Amino acid sequence: MAELIDHPCVQHKLAIIRDVDTGHKRFRELATEITKFICYEALKNIKTREVMVQTPVAMAKCHKLDTDLVVVPILRAGVG
């Protein structure tokens, strides 16, 4: 399944990352930032479980992920 991510912030970061004048350090930073956007989109429907959490004020009903996640890069650019 393919998913198009056309968020303006991702498009902006892609334009910078593709620029020939973008240095290696900035390239890696942008690759990390873009990966976060992709993960947010990919996980938008992931199953969660309800938990009670003690806050400084009172108990609060919250949601945590119902499974462990592993993110594996398949592109080598920006990994090094």
pLDDT in tens, 31-68: 999 989 988 888 889 999 999 999 999 999 999 999 99
CA distances to 1, 17, 21, 43 from 69, in Å = 19, 27, 35, 10
Residue 74, pLDDT score = 74
Contact between residue 51 and residue 44 where contact means Cβ atoms under 8 Å apart: no
